[in-house]
Amino acid sequence: MHAKIAGLGQWRPEGVRRNEDWPAEFVLASKRRQGDRTLVDVPTEGEPDQHRAIVKRHLAAEEGDPFLGGKERRIAEAGASSAEAEALAGKAALVDAGVDGAELDAIFSWALVPDRLMPSNACRVAQRLGATRAWAGTTDTACASPVTQLTLAAALIESGRARTVLLTQSHLVSPTFPLMHPASPCVGDGATAMLVTASETPGILLTHSVTHGEYYDSVLWCRSKDSAADPPWWEAGGAFFMGSHDQASTRQLMQDTVKVGATTVHELAERARFDVREIAALASVQPRRWVPGAIAEGLGLSPEIAVDTYESYAHLGGAGAVANLLAARERGLLKAGALAVMYAQGAGFTRAAAAIRW
């Protein structure tokens, strides 16, 4: 038995934040390069190669733009539930596939900002969807989680332990970025879902993931930039924010984003025995507008196969790769038999890619 993606779904908040919604002071601060720019600036120093040349060209194109290529981003209402958002995206995926929630065997959730530390959002998703015979839990490799979820779903189905698995992803992160933070225009809110079912023909061909724990402190939730002064999450302290305890490694990851993405897809192609030139659609994470197309360039492919939704949604974390897969389908790139590749990378640091036969 094989596994395939049978349905895709997405939930978008009604609120839209446009560039003109930022105060004039934000633009002035950006021009003066003020504020914590750890998650914004991409260095290009070091030994030049084809990937850094691509990055340098794209950085030059967005030079002077305080919004870094974004135009709009969806913003959830204050206090919005990420579990509810995932349930709505999951419902859309079920409808897309013509499957009832009662048929689900398992649900895997990923939430950058879960409603609770425990229990998992997946428990609420299961209840909302009427998945009365499913078990539900969290899978977390940060923004690489969609590929991790596909790996687990395919393994369950191929081993005969499940036939229908729902995968949900949520990114309700905008409240954690003050409007004056240099990276605030880069993030948006939303949720996505994939329904994976048993199939007579191969759909999820292979997944390939590698974790590099040396980057464990590069990007994390913290309450102080100083690791020695950062209290454990269960102790009293200030508000959490997305930051770094190792800025040198953060800069390294940002500088090598295109190289890491292209390398991971090449490794996937070698293991799955296909030529990268066969890829009809690349659905990638989009921490910046140019990243998906730049990874395609790094593979020697046309940027046109790398659909991005950045101008409308900005960075959606792990949900971004699924939103881009959905956009690729809407744009006609996923014809029957087409080869699609999903690429995602997540804090920790995990790089992951999946080969999907549509």
pLDDT per residue as tens digits for the range 41-89: 788 776 677 888 888 888 888 888 999 999 999 999 999 999 999 999 9
Q: Cα-flanking dihedrals φ and ψ of residue 193, to 5°?
A: -155, 150
The string over 141-166, giving b where at least 16 C-beta atoms fall within 10 Å of a residue's C-beta and e elsewhere, is: bbbbbbbbbbbbbbebbeeeebbbbb
Q: Counting Cβ atoms within 10 Å, is residue 330 exposed (0-12), middle (13-18) or buried (19+)?
A: exposed
Residue 228 host element (H or E): none
- Choice between 93 and 1, residue whose per-residue pLDDT is larger: 93
pTM, entire model: 0.95
Average confidence score pLDDT of the chain: 94
Mean pLDDT of 21-49: 84
The reported pLDDT for the residue numbered 46 is 67
| pLDDT of res. 47 | 65
Rounded percentage of the chain residues whose pLDDT exceeds 70: 99
The C-alpha atoms of residue 174 and residue 134 are separated, in whole angstroms, by 31
* 220 phi and psi angles, rounded to 5 deg: -160, 165
Task: Please say if the pLDDT value at position 346 is more than 70.
Answer: yes
Determine which of 13-17, 25-29, 163-167 has the lowest per-residue pLDDT on average. Answer: 25-29
Cβ atoms of 321 and 342 closer than 8 Å:
yes
User: Per-residue pLDDT tens for 138-190?
Assistant: 999 999 999 999 999 999 999 999 999 999 999 999 999 999 999 999 999 99
Model pLDDT, residue 36: 83
User: At a CB cut-off of 8 Å and minimum separation 6, what does 318 contact?
Assistant: 110, 112, 142, 143, 144, 145, 146, 169, 171, 285, 344, 346
Residues whose CB falls within 8 Å of the CB of residue 294, separated by 6 or more in sequence, listed in order: 54, 55, 58, 257, 258, 303
103's tokens: 């048929």
DSSP 334: -
Structure tokens at 73: 């981003």
pLDDT for 191-242, tens place per residue?
999 999 999 998 999 999 999 999 999 999 999 999 999 999 999 999 999 9
Q: What is the pLDDT of residue 53?
A: 87
Q: Looking at residue 82, what DSSP letter applies?
A: H
